[in-house]
Amino acid sequence: MDCIFCNIISGKFDSAKVYEDADVLAFLDVYPVTKGHCLVIPKKHCQDIFDIPESDLQKVMASGKQISQKIKDVLKADGIRLSQSNGRAAGQDVMHFHLHVIPRYEDDGVLMHGASVAHPQKADFEELKKLAETVKFG
């Protein structure tokens, strides 16, 4: 299997980690919608909401809640958007279940309608690593 998220979990690809435990990994998105945009994934490969075991889904969501609070506090976000898509028609680009934690800021200029958002610019990876250190916990 050639799954980019599985390669991140295994350490084959680097990431700007903000949280990790035995079952869940969270890292900053390299194409962030806003500053602090994270992805929360199960370490077990699951394609989508229909494939993920309930226990793993609960762990991802609980981690997403903790990460949301940390980002809101540290980055002074005005709100947090949680987003998750299932299947290409719904906008899922990576076929490994993932939860987007997207900080929102007053007047951030980001227009989001449903599950679609224009693909943002790729972030500077070194800047992401520095930012990850400010919101890392666990």
Q: What is the mean pLDDT of residues 6-23?
A: 97
Residue 124 is predicted with a pLDDT of 87
CA distance 36 to 32: 7
Q: Which residues pair with 42 in a beta bridge?
A: 24
Per-residue pLDDT of 112-126, as tens digits, reads: 755 445 556 788 888
Confirm or reject CATH 3.30.428.10 for domain 4-135, answering yes or no: yes
98 belongs to the catalytic site: yes
Grouping H, G, I as helix, E, B as strand and the rest as coil, residue 129 is helix
Could you say which of 37, 96, 98, 100 is catalytic? 98
Helix (H) / strand (E) containing 4: helix 4-10
